[in-house]
Structure formats: structure tokens, C-alpha cells
Amino acid sequence: MKILVVGSGGREHALAWKLAQSKKIQVVMVAPGNGGTALDGRLKNIFITDPVQLADYVQQEHIALTVVGPEAPLAAGIVDVFRERGLKIFGPTKKAAQLESSKDFAKAFMQRHGIPTAAYQSFSDAKAAHDYIDQQGAPIVIKADGLAAGKGVVVAMTLKEAHDAVDMMLSDNRFGDAGARVVVEEFLEGEEASFIVMVDGKNILPLATSQDHKRLMDNDEGPNTGGMGAYSPAPIVTPQLHARVMREIILPTVHGMAKDGIPYTGFLYAGLMIDAEGNPKTLEFNCRMGDPETQPIMVRLKTDLVKVMEHAVDGTLDQIELEWDRRTALGVVMAAANYPESPRKGDVIKGIPAETDDSVTFHAGSVLENDQLKTAGGRVLCVVGLGGTVRVAHKAAYEALDKIHFDGMQFRRDIGWRAMRRL
Ligand code: AMP
Ligand code: GLY
């Protein structure tokens, strides 16, 4: 059978790589894909991004099912377009994707359904937002309501930063419509974890836990990024905490969406903040898998992902169990010069090692031009290592990474430090 993966990042390369391992697969199409998906003989890039044209292509090519990677096509309604034509697709509808595409929607939803999250208020009027911030004090967090490619959140340590963030979003319109409304919320302290599940409308299938590293540089310094590395499992999520997150956050979310008449299907990602006492709160929802969390998670998945996807689109996720490699997988992102501000493109990438039993490299912002691999975006590669402990996985990842070179490459040396500290 043929399957389509929509997107071009490291997450999509990892999903396509895993799907292609299935005996059922003839070819996995990736739209539009990247340099890495172009190099893999089992994958085929197709250069279509418009949802209607993609649906036409899926019908022509008799593609059995489609998996959507990024939030933008979901928020634009690709699932609605496919479903209207009776095409099988895994992801939330446009309405359900509001859990990610509108922070205001997500906060009101959580409040309505008693799901633990930071206290907040939302504003479209700058003066009211400034007054609220003065009354609450700093630190405080300002979030653009809409999708802002990971740049819409300001964790303000001072009142000045908070007021500047409101001015940037509401008065200067820096994010356009996405910033026409802001959520101002309580600053939460603790450790973050990524909690990702698959939902078929009624059944919930949790994936392995993971943890991401948002800051550009070692010791969690420098600007926020889309994620500079991730590993799975995340030892902070003990079996007890896992059960509690399912009970207090995931189940009420899935049931709440159904109750509100917007049944949720697709990957659901709760970004958690876990305080010193081990209490979880929801920082945000994403209506997709995480990037780079997907890369280590897919490397650990032993179950045939095609089978899992078939159950997901048929509403029978209760009939499958996931089997995981017991080892830790740890992925390190290699980013382009000047990422995240204004990533440089066109640097030649050399030395990517062949996949082994304990390492694999996924591509994101790369392109294959006349048989030469070049950088083509912010996050270029994600090198994943596997090992019996997080330390061994760390070593495997960096041994592979140290063979790779492109001018201006940026990466962290300390991915996994929280888990290593726990040992
Ligand atoms: P979000 O896109 O909402 O996950 O926010 C991006 C990042 O900002 C998160 O991964 C956290 O590191 C940080 N953040 C978001 N909300 C809060 C909060 N209420 N308190 C502290 N940090 C936050
Ligand atoms: N790695 C964080 C995210 O995908 O949103």
C-alpha cells in the first residue's frame, strides 16, 4: 500500500522512515519532504502543499491513508477536506486543532473542564492587558493567541519585558491576526515534559514519554527554539505521574472535546510543567507530534506503525498495544548558522554516517541539489543515538554527530542532562 506523510521536517522524516519499515508498504510519499526523504529509496517526495491538490493526488494515486505532521495544514483544515471526500487521514479537524491554533480557546476549554493549567486572562485591548500585568506582577507569561511558529510566547521576568511583549503583539501587530488577542498567564516553575497520545475519537493510546530542550545553547541559555534535542523515555514521568496525567489531563481533554461536540482525532501533545512536588499542569496543547520528540520516539517504536495508523483512522486504537525498545533514544538537533533568528541556507552538508543499530540521522532543513546535500532551513538534522542508559544513548548520538559537518552548524553538547542528573 501507499501512504502519504504531509510535512518537511525531522518529525516527518522519522514518521516516514518508521512507516516504510512495514511489510505492507510499497512506497511512502512525503509532501514536500526534504533532502533526507529524497535520498531514501523507500520514500518519494512530492511537491504539493495545497490541501485540495493533495486530496486530488491521493485519489489519483490510490493512497490508502495520510498522516499529517505539522500544525499549519491541520489548522487550515486539511482533515476536513480529506474527510469530505471519504479519504482516510489521521489528524484533528480544523475545529479540533484550535486546541493548538488558539491559546484562548485552549485556556477557556481547560478552565471549563477543570484541567490543571496556569491561571490566566485574555485580552485584545492593550490598556486592559497592561493594567492586569501591573496588578499581577512579574514574572508573568504573555502568549499570542494564534500560531506564531514557536515565537509567540514571552516568559517575562520583569514588568518591562511583559509590557513590551503586550506592545509588540497588540499594538505593533508583530504577529498580525495571531497576536490580535493575547493570553496573560501565571508563571509556572518546574520541569517540562512532553506527553503525547494518539486519539481516534474515543480511544486513547499513549506514546512513550519524552523531554525536549527549547533553548539554543548549553545550560539552557540563549533564545527559545523549536527544540534543540529530545530523548525518550523521560524519567521524570514515573508510572504514578503517567497515570495521573492520563486521569487529570488527557482523559478530561478527550472527553471534554467530545462533550463540546468537537470529537478529537489525531496526535495530541500536552506540554507539561511538573512542579517540585510532582504536580503536573498543562502549559499548552499541540495537535500534532513534537519535533524533535518524534525522532527518538519513532526510533524506539517496535510495533508496525502502519498497523497503528490503520487502527487510528478506523477508530480501533483499543485493539492494539505498542511495544517499545527498552533502550533510551536521544536526538541532537544540528541547526544552521544564525538559527533561530535568520537561518542561513546553502551550506554543504558532509559526513552523515549510515544508519546503524544504535544511531540514525533524520533530516529537516536539508535539500538535495545535483546530488549534493545542502542546508535549507533552521533545524537541519537530528542525530539519534540509542543506548541502555541515557549516558550510552548520549555517547552514541554524539559519536555519529561528530562525523557530520556543515559550515555554521550549531548544536548543544548537553542534550539529556536532566535525565543524566537523575541517575
Ligand atoms: P508554549 O508554546 O505555550 O509551550 O510555550 C513555550 C515555552 O514557554 C514552554 O515550553 C515553556 O518553557 C515556556 N512557558 C509557557 N508557559 C509558561 C508558564 N505559564 N510558565 C513558565 N513557562 C512557560
Ligand atoms: N518540540 C516542541 C514542539 O514540537 O512543539
- State in Å: Cα 312 to ligand 1 middle: 29
Residue with CA nearest ligand 1 atom 19? 187
How many C-beta atoms lie closer than 10 Å to residue 138's C-beta? 17
Residue with CA nearest ligand 1 atom 9? 283
The answer to whether 365 and 34 are in contact (CB under 8 A) is: yes
**Fold (CATH) for 2-93:** Rossmann fold (3.40.50)
- State in Å: Cα 128 to ligand 2 middle: 31
Cβ–ligand 2 distance for 71 under 6 Å, the answer no
pLDDT at 422: 84
Cβ–ligand 1 distance for 188 under 6 Å, the answer yes
CA 346 vs. chain centroid, Å, equals: 25
Q: Say which residues have a Cβ less than 8 Å from residue 405's Cβ, sequence separation at least 6.
A: 349, 350, 351
Mutate which of 143, 195, 212 to test ligand 2's pocket (most atoms within 8 Å of Cβ)?
Answer: 212
The alpha-helical segments, DSSP class H, found in 91-205 are 98-101, 103-112, 126-136, 159-166
Cβ–ligand 2 distance for 145 under 6 Å, the answer no
Cβ–ligand 2 distance for 286 under 6 Å, the answer yes
Distance between CA atoms of residues 191 and 212, nearest Å:
11
* H/E element, 193: strand 191-200
CA-CA-CA-CA torsion sign (340, 346, 347, 350): positive
Q: Say which residues have a Cβ less than 8 Å from residue 56's Cβ, sequence separation at least 6.
A: none
CATH of 125-180, one of 3.20.20.450, 3.30.1490.20, 3.40.50.300, 3.50.50.60: 3.30.1490.20
Cβ–ligand 1 distance for 284 under 6 Å, the answer yes
- Which atom in ligand 2 lies closest to the alpha carbon of residue 11? 4
Q: What is the pTM of this model?
A: 0.96
Longest CA–CA span in the chain (Å) reads 60
The domain limits of the chain are: 2-93, 125-180
Cβ–ligand 1 distance for 185 under 6 Å, the answer yes
Question: pLDDT means per 10 residues in the chain (423 residues)?
Answer: 98 98 97 98 97 98 98 96 98 97 95 97 92 94 85 91 91 76 94 97 96 96 94 96 98 97 97 96 97 98 98 98 98 97 97 98 97 96 98 98 98 96 83
